[in-house]
Amino acid sequence: MNEMIFQEGNEFNYVRYNEILPDRMTLLFIHGLGDSGLCFQKVFEDKRFDKFNIIVPDMVGYGKSSASANGDYGFASYINRIWKIIEEMKINDLTVIGHSMGGDIATLLCNSDQKYKIKKFVNIEGNITQFDLFISLEAIKAAEDENFVYWFYDDFMKSKVFEDWGQKYPSCRRYHISLCYCRLEAFLANAQELCKRNTALPGKYKSETGQIYCSLSIPKVFCYGTESVSSGTIDFLKENNLEYQVFDGAFHWLMIDKAKEFYSFLYEFISSE
């Protein structure tokens, strides 16, 4: 694994990557809310993926990346930064893998692909309905109660992630590490945008992101763990005849909880015609 910094003014993106060759497929991994590229560490250890380019950025405000230079943590800004990385690294043949909030960002990234560089999309429990927003809703409620900092460090990071989830799922102990480096202003801004985008529409299913996901014409698959995703999201997948892959016994970070199964599935999906 290699590391580099993409800098623009006083702002920089930290990126993990392997050897980048121009004539092979690139796998771009996008992490979720409060997380970092650490959640995809296993892909660098799996020799099957040595024949692909691998790019794993820490989003601005997360991990080893800087704060936003102008305070903008909007998804549109994230997408703009990602396209700059893609252009700088001269990437043309892309499969995007987005987890949680990263699935939302990846959905919008695919929708913005005017040069048809993205060939496939793997959505790992991104928000496609309003039913899986519990962390974001708690963050917004804490901010409205002027209790966000205490909520983040004590109620969420310590009690829920480390002491509760972390005792059941190894993935959450790694998530806890990433949360230590997360900037609170990025977390809250992203939680607010997640809720806004996924509750914007009238009717049974309120997610604008979910409707965009349905409209994407490239090969795509939604991956979820049986320990985390809501029944409402499962209904949405079935009602819209969307391809999905279930990982039994996995929590939200299924690419860690069920790493062997997930990366075997990913390899098969990206290798198929």
Strands (E), 108-214: 118-124
Cβ-count burial of 94 within 10 angstroms (0-12 exposed, 13-18 middle, 19+ buried)? buried
Which residue is listed with tokens 């928000």? 127
CA atoms of 184 and 252, how far apart (whole Å): 21
Residue whose C-alpha is closest to residue 12's, from 88, 109, 103: 88
**Is the pTM of the predicted complex or chain greater than 0.85?**
yes
Domains of the chain: 2-271 (3.40.50.1820)
Beta-bridge partners for 13: 6
Beta-bridge partners for 7: 12
Give the C-alpha distances (Å, rounded to integers) separating 265 from 195, 240, 254, 258, 259: 30, 22, 12, 11, 10
Within 8 A by CB and 6+ apart from 196, the residues are: none
Within 8 A by CB and 6+ apart from 108, the residues are: 75, 76, 79, 209, 212
Confidence at residue 177, expressed as pLDDT on a 0 to 100 scale: 96
Distance of CA 254 to the CA centre of its chain: 12
- pLDDT per residue rounded down to tens, the chain (273 residues): 899 898 888 899 999 999 899 889 999 999 999 999 999 999 999 999 999 999 999 999 999 999 999 999 999 999 999 999 999 888 889 999 999 999 999 999 999 999 899 999 999 999 999 999 999 999 999 999 999 999 999 999 999 999 999 999 989 999 999 999 999 999 999 999 999 999 999 999 999 999 999 999 999 999 999 999 999 999 999 999 999 999 999 999 999 999 999 999 999 999 987
CA atoms of 2 and 23, how far apart (whole Å): 19
User: What token pair was written down for 124?
Assistant: 């790992």
The string over 63-83, giving b where at least 16 C-beta atoms fall within 10 Å of a residue's C-beta and e elsewhere, is: bbbbbbeeeebebeebbebbb
Confidence at residue 240, expressed as pLDDT on a 0 to 100 scale: 97
User: What token pair was written down for 220?
Assistant: 């795509």
CA atoms of 270 and 273, how far apart (whole Å): 8
User: What token pair was written down for 181?
Assistant: 């480096």
Cβ-count burial of 199 within 10 angstroms (0-12 exposed, 13-18 middle, 19+ buried)? middle
CA atoms of 119 and 145, how far apart (whole Å): 44
Strands (E), the chain: 2-8, 11-17, 26-30, 53-57, 94-99, 118-124, 220-225, 244-247
Which residue is listed with tokens 């409060």? 34
